[in-house]
Amino acid sequence: MKKILVLGKWYSLISSSSMYENDYENRILRFRNQLFPDYYCAKFRTKIESLLGNCIPDLILVHKEYKDWYIVEVELEHHSLSGHVYDQVTKMHHGHYDMEHLIAAKEAIPELDLVRLKELIRQRPKTLVIVPISKINWKESLFPYKTKIMSIEVWEDDTGDCLLQVDGDRPMSYENEFLTELRTDASLPRTLKVMNTASLPKDGMIQIEFLGAKEMWTIMTTSAGKWLIPKGRSSLPGGVFSLKSTNDESFMMEEKHGL
């Protein structure tokens, strides 16, 4: 049997089959600040409705700067991909998120700012699956939904003190100045769609530097999302861009390649 020796203590791997899912979740939550330092993390048992059926997730992650959020499914090693995991992730990905989820997130994480959370929840959440052992075939099957698969093994000593061994995907770490992706929108010529609506105010104008030139852009928000409209005749090519804040409280934009 494999063991880990740390500061004179021997730790043994806890088999997934010997744990209840709730016990596994509680171990993850115990170390939430170390596992997800950029995110608030809490249990989240609010029903998600979709055209494919309903589901109930396990955890929620909300970025502390409101850059993104995750709906999390916690699974044990013996759970079936085709019989359960794939079905859950599909429903989570296609789910309808509304005021009920906003209120539930605020109740689960009181530190959240309700105004910024309301903007963020308009952005479809990312999906994360946490499992005690690496599941390469799960990652391949869930690739269409860009689901992250995070492996967290639990090791314990004879007193119940535990260690976690982490492998696989983790929620994205952003550069400090990164705000959101911007994408050209063919349905609205000369506009850039703001992918994270919580990253910018509801309206107003901002100055953005791109390739050394600075332009003013108007923020337009509707029930369908948020866009940036150039004040003048912008020569911006089509594509995907990163919007970042700068030290002088203005913004800069960089084109993303390889997408």
For the chain, what are the domain ranges?
A: 3-168, 178-255
Q: Quick one: pLDDT at residue 61?
A: 97
| Cut 0.85: pTM above it | no
Mean pLDDT of 36-64: 95
Give the rounded percent of residues in the chain with a pLDDT score beyond 70: 94
User: Do 144 and 125 meet the contact criterion of CB atoms below 8 Å apart?
Assistant: no
User: Do 168 and 187 meet the contact criterion of CB atoms below 8 Å apart?
Assistant: no
Report the CATH fold assignment for 3-168.
Trna Endonuclease; Chain: A, domain 1 (3.40.1350)
Q: Quick one: pLDDT at residue 145?
A: 86
Q: Quick one: pLDDT at residue 60?
A: 97
* Beta-strand relationship, 192-194 and 178-184: antiparallel
Q: Quick one: pLDDT at residue 76?
A: 85
169-182 pLDDT, tens digit each: 888 666 557 889 99
Strand partners, 154: 164
55-104 pLDDT, tens digit each: 999 999 999 989 889 999 998 876 677 778 999 999 999 999 999 999 99
Confidence of residue 234 (pLDDT cuts 50, 70, 90): low
Confidence of residue 249 (pLDDT cuts 50, 70, 90): low
Cα distance between residue 177 and residue 243, in whole Å: 9
* Beta-strand relationship, 126-131 and 148-156: parallel
Q: Quick one: pLDDT at residue 36?
A: 95
